[in-house]
């Protein structure tokens, strides 16, 4: 396979609202990110995936865009954005813009026009249908609860919204819509950005009348068109959010000769603790065998055919150390073990802000402390269905998106050093113990461990390109081998808080380990990487 510059890239994801506030209004902003560029550089990341910073009424924290060519005033100005691109570039860091192209805000001028009359030229920019028997056109449900259809009483038709009713879906079958999005992409490429992350890109080619939402028959046609029209001559990297994609589909999206995307985010591994049908609120324990099977399948299945993204967390997911690690007694050990497992795999790793210091989930007692529209809508819906407050809160504590959205914990000062004002969402009360300053000064630093993992990738082609093989191991242990040019590395990870024996412990050269001293058994959440002799 031809090598590409982004094959050994490491991406750091910034959720601007919660990263660093520079002016005391309680909202993270572009100047805040600028002030922390050296922090990201020091970690070793060379791309920043920037969640949306465009003009937006903020119904879904920026995933509802009202102008793709403007910066939301809460985040700063276009001058700040240009400066961020330039300053990042000086440090060898590329900016990856988040493009939300499946829907816009209902306050986007296209929608305002579209809604104004049935024969407005923009009508077909969105998906409009007549109702059926005084009700919506179909039973289709929104991902954020309730019907996916909203009646516009003026024109007496319903518009589609797969997310909130303030996020009407664009109609990609209408060529001017596609051209308008390509124009947005060209604008940002001309500004010097180095990548795009495409929000729910697998939904754009929906065929409503056939009941198809994800992976519509024209999806690949559209992506190939986008590649021809925009991406062909731009040396940027693309990643599509395709939550439901299986391996076969991922090969179609990411194989180089098809000219679609460079990689995709599949949710197969992070859906393993969901009940069937992606019912994320109905809790289920992770079975390590499932995780071994799924990650290994992607590692071997995409080999030579496409490219993997590697991630444990993002702004929609709970914190990984609270989820599949142990965020109490073994916070350092489990955070570094999970980091090791992921960062020694083939693909491009993504680190979500705060993961590098082992930030944890949060538990606010009242719904009023939560800001996420998905969480709030779900609470109301389940309350109506008769669930108890306690049960719903339990789901929110485990799966709610605000777990990832509490502000970055920089130090033990007021508001964790995130803001001098009142933060837009509560800070995790554990900030006085868990914060960047403490982590860096402690003798067990998760940040320093992540830094080591990143450096290792930069210095060893083996990590980037080697073959992958799952090793037969004890049920508590996730172990795999990487083989490259007559060299073999072995990765051993204990997924429990107990000591376990492992037949795979050996006397190879130790490349990394999250304990200082050798031992005859794997200790709680121990991770070891060997180079075999």
Judged by beta carbon distances under 5 to 8 A according to partner kind, the member of Ca ion, ligand TEU, none in contact with residue 200 is ligand TEU
262 by Cβ neighbours in 10 Å (0-12 / 13-18 / 19+) ranks as buried
Pick the piece of the chain touching Ca ion (CB under 5 A) from 28-36, 123-131, 283-291, 436-444: 28-36
Residue 476 annotated in active site:
no
Which residue lies nearer to ligand TEU by CB, 143 or 180?
143
Q: Are 455 and 46 a contacting pair, CB within 8 Å?
A: no
Judged by beta carbon distances under 5 to 8 A according to partner kind, the member of Ca ion, ligand TEU, none in contact with residue 355 is none
Q: How far apart are CA 213 and CA 438, in angstroms?
A: 46
Position among 12, 14, 19, 21 found at the interface with Ca ion (CB under 5 A): 21
Q: Residues in contact with ligand TEU, total (CB under 6 A)?
A: 14
Edge-first strand order for the sheet with 509-513 is 467-470, 477-484, 487-494, 527-531, 509-513
Judged by beta carbon distances under 5 to 8 A according to partner kind, the member of Ca ion, ligand TEU, none in contact with residue 243 is ligand TEU
Judged by beta carbon distances under 5 to 8 A according to partner kind, the member of Ca ion, ligand TEU, none in contact with residue 23 is Ca ion
> According to the binding rule CB under 6 A, does residue 402 interact with ligand TEU?
no
Enumerate the H helices of 363-465 as residue ranges: 373-384, 389-399, 436-441, 446-459, 461-465
3-state secondary structure of 524: coil
Position among 25, 107, 150, 290 found at the interface with Ca ion (CB under 5 A): 25
> According to the binding rule CB under 6 A, does residue 199 interact with ligand TEU?
yes
Here's the x/- map for ligand TEU, 86-115, by CB under 6 A: it reads as --------------x---------------
User: Measured from the CB of residue 74, what is the shortest distance to Ca ion in angstroms?
Assistant: 6
Residue 199 annotated in active site:
yes
Position among 32, 136, 137, 243 found at the interface with ligand TEU (CB under 6 A): 243
Q: Are 408 and 354 a contacting pair, CB within 8 Å?
A: yes
Helical (H) or strand (E) element with 160: strand 157-160
Please state, in angstroms and as integers, the Cα–Cα distance from residue 469 to each residue in 191, 296, 490, 510, following that order. 42, 7, 10, 19
Could you tell me the sign of the dihedral formed by the alpha carbons of 192, 197, 198, 199, in that order?
A: negative
Judged by beta carbon distances under 5 to 8 A according to partner kind, the member of Ca ion, ligand TEU, none in contact with residue 63 is ligand TEU
> According to the binding rule CB under 5 A, does residue 150 interact with Ca ion?
no
> According to the binding rule CB under 6 A, does residue 316 interact with ligand TEU?
yes
Position among 11, 14, 27, 189 found at the interface with Ca ion (CB under 5 A): 27
Please state, in angstroms and as integers, the Cα–Cα distance from residue 187 to each residue in 69, 268, 365, following that order. 8, 33, 44
146 by Cβ neighbours in 10 Å (0-12 / 13-18 / 19+) ranks as middle
> According to the binding rule CB under 6 A, does residue 439 interact with ligand TEU?
no
Radius of gyration from C-alpha coordinates of the chain: 23
Position among 95, 200, 320, 492 found at the interface with ligand TEU (CB under 6 A): 200
Quote the DSSP letter at residue 131: -
Q: Are 12 and 353 a contacting pair, CB within 8 Å?
A: yes
> According to the binding rule CB under 6 A, does residue 29 interact with ligand TEU?
no
Enumerate the H helices of 191-266 as residue ranges: 219-226, 247-254
> According to the binding rule CB under 6 A, does residue 54 interact with ligand TEU?
no
* Binding region for Ca ion (CB under 5 A): 21, 23, 25, 27, 29
**What residues are annotated to the active site?**
199, 241
* Binding region for ligand TEU (CB under 6 A): 60, 63, 100, 143, 163, 199-200, 241, 243, 280, 315-316, 374, 401
């Amino acid at each position: 396979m031809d090598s590409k510059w982004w094959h050994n890239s490491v991406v750091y994801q910034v959720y601007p609202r919660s990263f660093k506030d520079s002016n005391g209004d309680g909202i993270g902003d572009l100047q805040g990110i600028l002030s922390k560029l050296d922090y990201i550089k020091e970690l070793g990341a060379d791309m920043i995936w920037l969640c949306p910073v465009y003009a937006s009424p903020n119904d879904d924290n920026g995933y509802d865009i009202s102008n793709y060519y403007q910066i939301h005033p809460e985040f700063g100005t276009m001058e700040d954005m240009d400066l961020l691109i330039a300053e990042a570039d000086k440090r060898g860091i590329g900016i990856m813009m988040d493009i939300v192209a499946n829907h816009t805000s209902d306050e986007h001028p296209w929608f305002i026009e579209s809604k104004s009359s049935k024969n407005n030229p923009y009508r077909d920019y969105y998906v409009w249908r007549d109702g059926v028997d005084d009700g919506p056109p179909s039973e289709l449900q929104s991902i954020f609860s309730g019907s996916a259809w909203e009646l516009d009483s003026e024109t007496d038709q319903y518009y589609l919204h797969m997310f909130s009713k303030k996020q009407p879906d664009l109609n990609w079958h209408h060529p001017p819509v596609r051209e308008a999005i390509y124009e947005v992409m060209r604008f940002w490429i001309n500004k010097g950005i180095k990548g795009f992350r495409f929000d729910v890109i697998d939904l754009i080619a929906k065929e409503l009348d056939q009941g198809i939402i994800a992976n519509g028959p024209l999806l690949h046609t559209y992506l190939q068109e986008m590649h021809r029209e925009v991406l062909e001559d731009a040396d940027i990297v693309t990643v599509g959010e395709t939550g439901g994609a299986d391996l076969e589909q991922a090969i179609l999206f990411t194989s180089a000769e098809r000219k679609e995307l460079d990689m995709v985010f599949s949710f197969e591994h992070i859906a393993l603790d969901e009940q069937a049908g992606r019912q994320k609120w109905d809790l289920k324990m992770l079975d390590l065998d499932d995780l071994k099977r799924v990650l290994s399948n992607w590692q071997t299945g995409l080999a030579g055919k496409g490219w993997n993204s590697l991630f444990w967390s993002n702004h929609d997911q709970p914190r990984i150390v609270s989820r599949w690690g142990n965020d109490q007694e073994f916070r350092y050990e489990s955070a570094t073990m999970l980091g090791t497992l992921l960062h020694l795999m083939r693909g491009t790793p993504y680190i979500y802000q705060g993961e590098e210091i082992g930030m944890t989930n949060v538990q606010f007692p009242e719904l009023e402390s939560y800001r996420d529209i998905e969480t709030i809508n779900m609470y109301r819906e389940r309350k109506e269905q008769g669930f108890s407050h306690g049960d719903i809160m339990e789901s929110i504590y485990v799966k709610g998106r605000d777990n990832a959205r509490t502000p970055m914990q920089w130090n033990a000062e007021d508001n964790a050093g995130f803001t001098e004002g009142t933060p837009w969402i509560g800070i995790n009360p554990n900030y006085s113990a868990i914060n960047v300053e403490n982590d860096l000064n402690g003798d067990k630093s998760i940040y320093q461990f992540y830094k080591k993992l990143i450096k290792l990738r930069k210095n060893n082609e083996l990590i980037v390109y080697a073959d992958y093989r799952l090793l037969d191991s004890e049920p508590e242990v996730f172990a795999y081998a990487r083989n490259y040019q007559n060299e073999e590395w072995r990765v051993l990870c204990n997924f429990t808080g107990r000591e376990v024996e492992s037949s795979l412990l050996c006397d190879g050269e130790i490349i990394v380990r999250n304990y200082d001293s050798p031992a005859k058994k794997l200790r709680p959440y121990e991770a070891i990487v060997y180079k075999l002799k």
